[in-house]
Structures are given as C-alpha cells and as structure tokens.
Amino acid sequence: MTQASTLKFSQFLIKLGNGAAPEVFSAPCGLNSRGFSRTAATNDTNVPDCDNPDAPSWLERDVVSLSGQMTGSGVVADEDFDIWNSWFESGVSKTVHVTLGTRTWQGKAILSKLDITAQRGQRVTFSATLDSDGEIALQ
C-alpha cells in the first residue's frame, strides 16, 4: 500500500500583498483556520427527451462565471490586526496569494467581512472573508 502525501497546516497560507513594487506578500499572524473555495455560477437548460416528451428531462448546465472566496479565523494578533482593519475600511481590492504546498493561486480580493468576537475568560478572536475581485489563477 502506498500512503498518501499530506500537507501540514503551515503549508496552507493566505498571504496579503502590500501594494509595493515589487509586491511583497506575507501571512498576517493569528489565523487558526483557513479556507479557500471556488464557485462556478451556472445557467440551466431543460433538455427534453425527443422520443418520449412525457419522460423527465435532464438539465444541461453552462458555466457563466467563476469566483473565489478565502476565509480565516483565529485570535486577534495585536501586531497584525491593523492590517485587516485598514484593508476593510479602505474598501479597495488587494492582491492575495493562496499557497497550498507548492501551488500558489494569485488574484485580487476584497475584504468583505471582518468580525471581532470575545467571550469573558478567553482571548479576542476574529474572522475574515475575502471575495475575489476578478480572476484567481494558479501561478
């Protein structure tokens, strides 16, 4: 039996660009969970059975658009929280990298949601949602 090659948590990163030329990417401290999802929006067409019009038909789908979303949550690292807050308040898109092992996707994203929560007796936590602003492509 051949065992699968797996990746550690540290090999899956969401890195934010600093906007400089050349742009430098870094992963802000504090994220304890990360996610990267891609979605295809589709249009459906109901295609009838020509030999039996009363039979259930099958749907055929066409991809209309693609989008990506990155999510993360963790503890508020005071030294890096201003990066998230400034980005959210600016309303601008930022270049991001999603790294998974040796793979890197790159594209622009908007920080569309920034939640801060706290519970007595625990550390302050936050979650962030980044929505693609154009293509997120494998480099």
Q: In CATH, what number is assigned to the domain containing residue 79?
A: 2.40.30
The answer to the question of residue 50 being in a domain is no
What is the reported pLDDT for 14? 98
Instruction: Give the three-class secondary structure for 1.
Output: coil
Structural domain count of the chain: 1
Structure tokens at 45: 């067409």
The answer to the question of residue 3 being in a domain is no
> Which residues partner with 89 through β-bridges?
none
What is the reported pLDDT for 25? 97
Per-residue pLDDT of the chain (139 residues; tens, 9 = 90+): 999 999 999 999 999 999 999 999 999 999 999 999 999 999 999 999 999 999 999 999 999 999 999 999 999 999 999 999 999 999 999 999 999 999 999 999 999 999 999 999 999 999 999 999 999 999 9
The answer to the question of residue 85 being in a domain is yes
What is the reported pLDDT for 62? 98
The answer to the question of residue 121 being in a domain is yes
The answer to the question of residue 115 being in a domain is yes
Strand order in the sheet with 103-117: 25-26, 12-17, 94-100, 103-117, 125-138, 58-75, 31-47
Query: pTM for this structure?
Result: 0.91
What is the reported pLDDT for 33? 98
What is the reported pLDDT for 85? 97
Per-state percent for the chain, helix, strand, coil, to nearest 5 = 10, 55, 30
The residues near 2 (Cβ < 8 Å, ≥ 6 apart) are none
DSSP state of 139: -
What is the reported pLDDT for 122? 97
Find the domain containing 78 and state its range: 9-38+67-138
The residues near 123 (Cβ < 8 Å, ≥ 6 apart) are 75, 76
The answer to the question of residue 2 being in a domain is no
The answer to the question of residue 80 being in a domain is yes
What is the reported pLDDT for 64? 98
What is the reported pLDDT for 77? 97
Would you mind telling me the total number of residues written for the chain in this entry?
139
